[in-house]
Amino acid sequence: MAAFALLAGACAPNAPLDTLQPAGPIARQIDSLWDIVFAAAIAVFVLVEGLIVVAVVRFRHRKGDTTDPKQTHGNTRMEIAWTIAPALLLLVLAFPTVGTIFALAREQPNSLQVKVTAQQWWWQYEYPDEKVVTANELHIPTGRPILLELHSGDIIHSFWVPRLGGKQDVVPGRINHMTIQADRPGEYAGTCVEYCGLSHANMRLKVFAHTPADYERWVEDQLEDAFRPRSGLAREGETVFQEKQCVTCHTIRFDGSKAEGITGPDLTHFASHSSFAGAIFERTDENLAEWVRDAPSRKPGSKMPSGVATMGLTEDDIEALVAYLQSLR
């Protein structure tokens, strides 16, 4: 019953980080290598455990036995056999393993380049050719390899979108690369998989794969300046945003904007995102209000200061800021 409970606990109808459900050619190469290695591991397991069971049954103590079993010390042929056999197995597995490693490291033709910068605890994405900057939610076209140039702004992180590719460490002072690719439009979950501090578990990400035409429309939308409300609560929120020094950490791009901070995410098209704060909260009015009110209580170690305790925001200020952020489409 305990074994069955463990097995049942591993089942899930929707496992967003399931690496065994590849959704692109890069992930399928990794999955194919996994199949080969796993098959070899099963064969070794069955052989070794089978021999153990045979030994336990055949040489078990029987009722009436009064003599010790025959003692043997070493068998040169067997020692040689079980040394050579694993070495040969590893040699065989080395061919597909090394081949896959080199295939994954090879830069694919017609790749879309994206610069990824890991921060505590969120991701920034820069599209150098498209002149687009965004955060936490990576948008890509389907059917095209995406070459990620990985940078760290502080300590070691690790980038992983299991259904689209493998894992790659993001190391300060070093530029690493990896390629991902999606076959079909959809949303793919990812996360940081290298412990990076207090909110490591809250450093998630999303990849949205679009058809090429939809991706081009997304780029065009991102190149537009931020929407500027002319009146109402959102207009009051823009004033609060500037007066309360939010502009020192965040960028909001429009003609005459004073918001050119680089410490926090670019908020130019914040309301086009489905989530925020390292992709851990849905972009709802309630979540935004709680975040602005006291971000460190929602995400331990957050560099976003408490709106009430540190920035002196009133509840009216928070309501106006939420309205303004929700208008930035």
Output DSSP code: residue 202: G
pTM for this prediction:
0.88
Of 223, 254, 275, the residue at which a domain comes to its end is 223
From the number of C-beta atoms within 10 Å of its C-beta (0-12, 13-18, 19+), residue 230 rates as: exposed
> In this predicted model, which residue has the larger pLDDT, 263 or 142?
142
Over the stretch 166-202, which tens digit does the pLDDT of each residue have? 999 999 999 999 999 999 999 999 999 999 999 999 9
111 CA to centre of own chain:
20
Contact 150, 168 (CB under 8 A): yes
Task: Please choose, from the candidates 211, 189, 193, 209, the residue with its C-alpha nearest in 3D space to the C-alpha of residue 201.
Answer: 193
Whether the ω angle into residue 121 lies within 30 degrees of 0, i.e. cis, is yes
Task: Please report whether residue 282 resides in a domain.
Answer: yes
| Domain limit, last residue, from 166, 200, 223 | 223
Burial class (CB in 10 A: 0-12, 13-18, 19+), 31: middle
What does the pLDDT read at residue 10?
79
pLDDT tens digit string along 48-86? 999 999 999 988 888 888 788 777 788 888 899 989 999
pLDDT: is 167 or 11 the higher one?
167
- CA–CA gap between residue 124 and residue 93 (Å, rounded): 37
Kindly state whether residues 218 and 236 are assigned to the same domain: no
What CATH number does residue 168 fall under? 2.60.40.420
3-class DSSP state of 206: strand
| 310 within some domain | yes
**236 and 172, same domain (yes or no):** no
Cα–Cα distance list, 99 to 93, 108, 109, 111 (Å): 10, 15, 18, 21
